């Protein structure tokens, strides 16, 4: 952390010692992507009296007050809470920063300085982009057939139940209301569309007849 040389950089009316220590503390806690700046309003043209990670904004001790702080200084810090959270700032090289500022007031409520925290969120945004790519799920278009979407079931019975549900849903008629011919049509479609899947289930020891019977397709008997 850089400190101003000599007491002449600090306001004679207000002791910033504890705030200077806080700059160093917050800077160490928040890490290298966060800049912490302390302003003394006694000299707005050289208001920065302490700064941690000044490389983020490209500023140093003796730097001036920002236009944002100057505009808020007109409010004397008395309109609403004495701080501003999460507003956009721009560094010297036009890197967007997430900024928050806190007015330092004397006992009479007059603004004497400001403590500012400015975070370069570039690396966090990169992490978000990576996570979004990892969490990508293909959208299922209305034109895509159900067969093109892979489903995961716990047992052969679940597979058969799902297949029957898909077929009956497409016909709009529940299994219990199907005629024998309609049930046979479902079985034919199951055989045509899922032939290898059904054979594999039966060969693995699943009781296809019982599972289909439980779904109302007694016609298989």
Whole-angstrom CA distances from 99 to 177, 182, 184, 186 are 65, 67, 69, 64
Domains and CATH numbers, the chain: 2-123 (3.30.450.20), 146-220 (no CATH)
Give 144's DSSP letter. S
- Cβ contacts of 107-110, under 8 Å, gap ≥ 24: 109/76, 109/77, 109/78, 110/76, 110/77
What pTM did the predictor assign? Answer: 0.57
Q: What is the pLDDT along the chain (221 residues), one digit of tens a residue?
A: 555 544 444 445 789 999 999 999 999 999 999 999 999 999 999 999 999 999 999 899 999 999 888 888 876 655 678 899 999 998 888 889 999 999 999 888 889 999 999 999 999 888 888 888 888 777 666 555 555 566 666 566 666 677 677 766 766 666 666 667 767 766 776 666 554 455 555 554 445 555 555 555 554 44
Rounded Cα–Cα distance for residues 107 and 14 (Å): 10
């Amino acid at each position: 952390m850089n400190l101003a040389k000599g007491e002449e950089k600090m306001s004679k009316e207000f002791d910033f010692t504890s705030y200077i220590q806080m700059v160093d503390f917050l800077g160490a806690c928040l890490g290298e992507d966060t800049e912490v700046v302390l302003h003394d309003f006694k000299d707005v043209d050289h208001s920065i009296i302490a700064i941690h990670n000044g490389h983020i904004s490209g500023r140093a001790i003796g730097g001036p007050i920002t236009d944002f702080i100057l505009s808020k200084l007109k409010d004397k810090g008395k309109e609403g809470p004495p701080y501003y959270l999460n507003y956009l700032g721009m560094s010297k090289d036009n890197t967007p920063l997430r900024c928050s500022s806190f007015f330092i007031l004397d006992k009479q409520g007059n603004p004497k300085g400001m403590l500012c925290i400015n975070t370069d969120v570039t690396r966090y945004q990169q992490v978000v982009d990576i996570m979004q790519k990892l969490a990508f799920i293909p959208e299922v278009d209305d034109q895509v057939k159900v067969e093109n979407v892979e489903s995961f079931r716990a047992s052969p019975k679940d597979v058969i139940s799902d297949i029957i549900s898909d077929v009956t849903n497409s016909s709009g008629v529940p299994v219990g209301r199907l005629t024998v011919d309609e049930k046979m049509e479902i079985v034919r479609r199951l055989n045509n569309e899922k032939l290898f899947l059904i054979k594999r289930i039966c060969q693995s020891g699943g009781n296809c007849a019982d599972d289909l019977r439980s779904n109302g397709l007694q016609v298989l008997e």
